[in-house]
Amino acid sequence: MLRMGIVLLGITTLAWGQGFTFTLGSPVAAQDFQFKSAAFVFRAEGCPEPDKLQLSAIAEGVVSGERRSVTVKVMPASKPGVYAIAQSWPVEGKWVVILKGACGGQTAGALVPVGPRGFLREAAKVLPRPATSGEIEAALKIFTDGGKQ
Amino acid sequence: MTLFSRHVTDQLSAHIHGQLSPRETQRFERHLSECEQCRAHLDQVTFGADILEEVQIARAPEAIWNAIEAGLNQAPASRRWPLAAAALAATMLAAIVCWVELRAPAAQWNVVRIHGTQQMTGRVGPGDWIETDASTRAVVSVGVIGKVEVAGNTRVGVVAARPGEHRLALRRGRIHATITAPPRLFFVDTAAGTAIDLGCEYSLETDEEGSGLLQVTSGWVEFQWGDLHSLVPAGASCRTTRDGPGIPYFDDAPDVLKQVFAEGASRQLDTVLAAARIRDSLTLWHLLMRVGPAERERVFSRMAALSPVPAGVTRELVLKLDAPTLARWKDELAWTW
């Protein structure tokens, strides 16, 4: 009984130790022709109970000096655990997509600057929690002040 | 978990058509995430459903229905006669449908020839060629799956125009294809091999010897010549020669890589490996299959240093060029491309 308990504890630790997180990629990573024109795709990893996975996304932008906010649809791709974000925000201005995820008691987040030719990989940030409003403002500021593509 | 849960193959169609309840969808996706067999079935059914959307329904000739009705109206000579008649009618129907299918004229595609400000519309089908000179170009509607822009000084022919196969032959010149169909429905043959659409937008130029360039702007293209094949994703290009496709490289790759793989310059392997970034694993992955065993080991080491080797991918299997292992690694590397 004790041995079984130790094994179960080990399995649980391994499962949780993997950690819930996002991996970002260009649309080709999804290998799903329906999303070839997506702004980017992402993979939710380390969620031991996929039915409890909750995802949401919002695009925060600055257009002609004015702050804008657009709710973004998270679309599942043909591969399980892979999702696509299509551009549903205006082409004008500078935009950062904020991803938010929860799986059981775990959380994950990401700040993804998106330019006219897709997401800016080097400037994107994956976080172990939802981004704070301060981080969102900072990301937008860096992107609008010095971001280029 | 998979061991104790029922396979979901009987729900594939309902899932594709959005007919599952939220609870069923959850169970379906949970099972799918753990069952490779069901994922493979889903891929096949999705592909089939996509193709079915492209298929046009052909009506059987009126004469067939008249013959069947006439047969049914005749009084049976014995209890076996109606069965025999029905079987004969079914056989005739199948034969006639096949005959009609084979005799039916192949699909024709609209083509617009543009000369300066003048435009002339026409139709092209299998066996037809489009030839432009320096002052003309053309736009071809490829059935309902996309369009092909034909640049000046180009010769391109229609090889097949069926729902399951849209095939062009590019003898020389340049085309730009924008395709919205499921993968492997649109093909372009050149002297260097065949460009296979995997859901994409790309430009392809070639001369009559097969020397040319493939540049992909969206999705993927596979370029195949016998056993040699190159997978080219958006943002990457691939040279072609009479010996087939070269090694793909990203358009923003370091100069050293572009000099070698775009311009054919000669460089030491170590120089190429040292210059490669994480994203250039696209080039290195293809290089694995084009070099000898000693060089392959060095390529593997550089790739492993650039990004972690995923579970299930081992040095031994990679060096043996084990196809499933290479495919698994490619799928993982694609997240950096």
Per-residue pLDDT of B6-45, as tens digits, reads 677 777 777 666 677 666 766 766 666 666 666 666 656 6
3-state secondary structure B19-30: CCCHHHHHHHHH
Residues B233/B207, Cβ–Cβ less than 8 Å: no
Which carries the bigger pLDDT value, residue B107 or residue B176? B176
Q: What is the mean pLDDT of residues A81-87?
A: 95
Name the token pair of B80: 């076996």
Q: What's the farthest any 2 CA atoms get from each other in chain A?
A: 66
Q: For residue B4, what pLDDT is reported?
A: 40
Name the token pair of A70: 């657009």
Q: For residue B335, what pLDDT is reported?
A: 96
Q: For residue B62, what pLDDT is reported?
A: 55
Q: For residue B65, what pLDDT is reported?
A: 58
Residue B163 has pLDDT above 90, yes or no: no
Per-residue pLDDT of B223-265, as tens digits, reads 999 989 999 999 999 999 999 999 999 999 999 999 999 988 8
Give the gap in angstroms from C-alpha A148 to the nearest C-alpha of chain B.
Answer: 15
| Nearest Cα residue in chain B from A51 | B26
For chain B, the average pLDDT equals 83
The dihedral sign for the CA sequence B36, A53, A111, A65: positive
Question: What is the b/e burial string over B310-336, where b = at least 16 CB atoms within 10 angstroms of the residue's CB?
Answer: eeebeeebbeeeeeebbebbbebbbbb
Residue A83 has pLDDT above 50, yes or no: yes
Q: How confident is the model at residue B267 (pLDDT cuts 50, 70, 90)?
A: confident
Per-residue pLDDT of B197-215, as tens digits, reads 998 899 999 999 999 999 9
Residue B174 has pLDDT above 80, yes or no: yes
Q: For residue A24, what pLDDT is reported?
A: 97
Query: Of the ranges A7-21, A48-62, B149-163, B240-254, which one carries the lowest mean pLDDT score?
Result: A7-21
DSSP A5-20: HHHHHHHHHHHHHT--
Q: How confident is the model at residue B293 (pLDDT cuts 50, 70, 90)?
A: very high
Question: Is A31–B331 a contact, with Cβ atoms under 8 angstroms apart?
Answer: yes
Of B27, B218, B331, the CB nearest to A36: B218
Amino acid found at B172: R
d(CA A23, CA A45): 7
The dihedral sign for the CA sequence B3, B9, A29, A45: negative
Query: Of the ranges A11-20, B51-60, B327-336, which one carries the lowest mean pLDDT score?
Result: B51-60
The helix/strand/coil state of A46 is coil
For chain B, helix, strand, coil in percent to 5 are 40, 30, 30
Substitution target in B145, B198, B285, B335 with the highest count of A β-carbons within 10 Å is: B335
Question: Is B219–A23 a contact, with Cβ atoms under 8 angstroms apart?
Answer: no
Question: What is the b/e burial string over B56-91, where b = at least 16 CB atoms within 10 angstroms of the residue's CB?
Answer: eeeeeeeebeebbeeeeeeeeeeeeeeeebeeebee
Residues B262/B279, Cβ–Cβ less than 8 Å: no
Q: What is the mean pLDDT of residues A17-43?
A: 89
Residues of B in contact with A78 (CB under 8 A): 42-43, 46
Which carries the bigger pLDDT value, residue A125 or residue B267? A125
Residues A147/A124, Cβ–Cβ less than 8 Å: no
Q: For residue B26, what pLDDT is reported?
A: 66
Which carries the bigger pLDDT value, residue A102 or residue B88? A102
B209 and chain A in contact, CB less than 8 A: no
Which carries the bigger pLDDT value, residue A149 or residue B83? B83
Q: What is the mean pLDDT of residues B62-72?
A: 59
Residue A134 has pLDDT above 60, yes or no: yes
Give the gap in angstroms from C-alpha B220 to the nearest C-alpha of chain A.
Answer: 7
B36 and chain A in contact, CB less than 8 A: no
Q: For residue A9, what pLDDT is reported?
A: 42
Name the token pair of B55: 């298929």
- For the question of an ipTM over 0.90, the answer is no
Residues A3-12: contacts with CB under 8 Å, at least 24 apart:
none
